[in-house]
Amino acid sequence: MGAAEQGGEGGEGEPWGEVSPDAARRLLVAAVDAFAERGYHATTTRDIASRAGMSPAALYIHYRTKEELLHRISGVGHEKALSVLSAAADGEGTAGTRLAEAVRSFVRWHAAHHTTARVVQYELDALGPEHRAEIMALRRRTDAVVRGVIEEGVRSGEFDVADAAGTTLAVLSLCIDVARWFNVAGRRTPDEVGELYAGLVLRMVGATAAP
């Protein structure tokens, strides 16, 4: 089942908008679809070029290897998700308000870009050591954003959390796993899942006041 069948991830808010030139962007979109459908190891650069309507030689102008495509997908995916999360966490209001908004944003991102997020999460082991280390650094930054808001709420007495690191892990895991089960044909919209999860996360941190 490719991204197209799952409802597509192109159009508004698609994460590849900044990738240029157009051919490089089309190849990323084609690679996400191919990796999602058949897995990284079963996909060839020839498959990807063909999906993008290009020759293998045209692909090599933009990406030297299949791993370079995965690295680019993973990098852009992690950066975009981190950026929506940070914007929410750095917003106005109490720690509760900002944690709730961070969860809403992160959930919406993983629901809307579930095909990309699945590839990014499931194919992490296929990255080379340096690229993997780079992605791990982005993940630590993502973790630090959520942990920062949680610790702020604990200091201000707004939250009651015994294990900030463990709670951060659980909050991020809950949001990321939306990419696994989310179905565009399902009962809940990305906004509805975000709202549900924001409420559940405020309970997880023992928030005293409703934001």
Closest CB to a copy of itself among residues 20, 173 = 173
Q: Quick check: 113 and 77 in contact, CB under 8 A? A: yes
122 lies in the site for a copy of itself, by CB under 8 A: yes
Question: Does 61 participate in binding a copy of itself (rule CB under 8 A)?
Answer: no
Q: Which stretch binds a copy of itself (CB under 8 A): 21-29, 94-102, 142-150, 200-208?
A: 200-208
- Taking residues 13 to 52 in sequence order and writing x for each that binds a copy of itself by CB under 8 A, - otherwise, the string is -------------------------xxxxx----------
Site string for a copy of itself, 147-186 (x = CB under 8 A): ---------------xx--xx-xx--xx-xxx-xx-----
Q: How far is the CB of 95 from a copy of itself (least distance, A)?
A: 16
- Residue closer to a copy of itself (CB basis): 49 or 179: 179
Q: Minimum distance from CB of 42 to a copy of itself (Å)?
A: 4
CA distance 129 to 150: 31
Residues making contact with a copy of itself (CB under 8 A):
1, 38-42, 118, 121-122, 125, 162-163, 166-167, 169-170, 173-174, 176-178, 180-181, 188, 196-197, 199-200, 203-204, 206
